[in-house]
Amino acid sequence: MDKASASKIREKFNTYDEDGDGSITIAELKNGLKKDGIPCNDDAELDQLMKIIDTDGDERIDFAEFTVFYMQKMIDPGQEGVKKANLFAIKKQIPNQTELKERFSKVDTDGNGSISVDELKEAFGSSDDAEWQNFMKLADEDGDGEISFDEYVVAMMKLHLKD
């Protein structure tokens, strides 16, 4: 769980996002890979990697796209139920960061930047406490009783990776 935590992925994302603008360019990707000991001197290979990671094609890697990449390539595939198969070959549509922010905002009804169990119940019309407690165990990595946006993104990617 430690390696795929939202805080670890955000920390790694921030090391790649050199200018702190919330996205990673191809130059920043190249530098980040070098820092991680993965030299990528072949521009064609780097372009191909960028196309794979940048699923919305805007030539920038956002946190959601990076999370998919990180969970697929940077973590031991046997860990946390992450499939060994190539995530990008899975036919499921991986939501982009804009979609995830929209979904998150709809559930975060009080607008405080985090989602509580009560907000989950209200948004999805279920009063089954066990169901929501299980989801909180998956998503609320820091145990504060709330799901931050970063925790939400990682939880959604984990759900997409499940069988």
Is residue 123 included in any domain, yes or no? yes
How confident is the model over 135-152, as a mean pLDDT? 89
Q: By residue range, what is the domain housing residue 150?
A: 6-161
pLDDT band at 75 (very low <50, low <70, confident <90, very high): low
Is residue 47 included in any domain, yes or no? yes
Is residue 139 included in any domain, yes or no? yes
How confident is the model over 45-67, as a mean pLDDT? 89
Q: Containing H/E element for 114? A: strand 114-115
The mean pLDDT of the chain is 80
What is this structure's pTM? 0.68
List, in sequence order, every residue forming a beta bridge with 147; answer none if it has no partner: 115
Is residue 1 included in any domain, yes or no? no
Is residue 38 included in any domain, yes or no? yes
Contact 117, 145 (CB under 8 A): yes
CATH number assigned to the domain comprising residue 146: 1.10.238.10
Task: Check residue 90 and give its pLDDT.
Answer: 39
Q: Which two tokens stand for residue 21?
A: 């603008």
Q: What domain count does the chain have?
A: 1
Q: CA triplet 49, 55, 56: central angle to 5 degrees?
A: 130
